[in-house]
Amino acid sequence: MFTLRSVKYKDILDIDELDIPEQRIICIVGESGSGKTTLLRLLNHIISPDEGEIWFQNTPLSQWNPVELRRKVMMLSQSPAIFEGTVRDNLLIGFKFGEKPPVDENQLQDTLKIVRLNKDLLLDANSLSGGEKQRLAMARILLLKPEVFLLDEPSSALDEETTQFIMEQLVHHVNQLKKTMIMITHSKAVVEAFAEHVVEIKKGKVLITKEVGPCKGASTCRFGN
Ligand SMILES: Nc1ncnc2c1ncn2[C@@H]1O[C@H](COP(=O)(O)OP(=O)(O)OP(=O)(O)O)[C@@H](O)[C@H]1O
């Protein structure tokens, strides 16, 4: 799905070779400051490498129309933007400029359940806590159904039990839709429970990239197969 060759970005990342498979749950791990967020930003083409090339679906990122690319590859940052207005406004904002048809009320409610956000759709989004805002942004991306979900520490503002519940829901959802999830995590429990592929970054270099869990060695595999 993503292919990186001889990619350098400032003195932050120096990746000789990395292949990220599609339709997998991929965890990016590594110590703080190792370059994980920078890697996600490169994949989303928010930034470009100084050297080397990154391909998405066999086309160099530089040849992708940026709008088209970000419709397929969406990133949820650690502190996502919350817009003025209600929970509902925030869920639907992605549909405002897109070509996708707006979703109905039931879908909005169902998506809030996936991220365990039990709030009224008409509530002012700015009254939510940090963790709730993060989940609202997660729900917003889920509704848009991109090919690739890039999640930067999606559980950073969540307690252990909520993390377990939401990750289960997210992984199930992504698997069902046959999408790809690439997430940065510092949680060993999340890696052990959900990763199908792990990429470890150390000081800007890929230390380890390997398949793990139930899909190890399989050409195709979804949980439950
Ligand atoms: N635009 C930038 N210009 C210069 N340095 C940067 C820039 N963005 C990040 N850095 C530096 O690059 C290094 C890697 O940052 P990055 O955010 O990718 O790390 P990370 O592995 O995601 O860290 P964490 O786990 O703490 O979130 C850090 O030392 C950071 O300060």
ipTM of the complex: 0.94
Q: Within a domain: residue 18?
A: yes
Q: Within a domain: residue 98?
A: no
CA of 78 to the centre of ligand 1 (A): 13
Q: Within a domain: residue 94?
A: no
Residues 158-187: pLDDT tens digits? 888 888 899 999 999 999 999 999 999 999
Given strand 59-60, what is the order of strands in its sheet? 13-20, 2-9, 51-56, 59-60
Q: Within a domain: residue 128?
A: no
Enumerate residues lining ligand 1, CB below 6 A.
Answer: 10, 12, 30, 32-38
CA of 42 to the centre of ligand 1 (A): 12
Q: Within a domain: residue 46?
A: yes
Token pair of 141 as six digits = 């991306």
Scan for tokens 């970000």, then name that residue. Answer: 70
Residue of the CA atom closest to atom 18 of ligand 1:
35
Domain residues for 178?
Answer: 2-80+146-215
Q: Provide the phi-psi class of 212: left if phi over 0, else alpha when psi is between -120 and 50, else beta.
A: beta
Q: Within a domain: residue 192?
A: yes
Whether the pLDDT of residue 94 is over 90: the answer is no
Per-residue pLDDT, 216 = 56
Instruction: Among 31, 37, 150, say which to mutate for ligand 1: greatest number of ligand atoms within 8 Å of CB.
Output: 37
Q: Within a domain: residue 102?
A: no
Residues 35-62: pLDDT tens digits? 999 999 999 999 999 999 999 999 999 9
Residue of the CA atom closest to atom 29 of ligand 1:
33
pLDDT band of residue 222 (cuts 50, 70, 90) is low
Domain count, the chain: 1
- Which CATH number characterizes residue 154's domain? 3.40.50.300
pTM (two decimals): 0.92
Q: Within a domain: residue 182?
A: yes
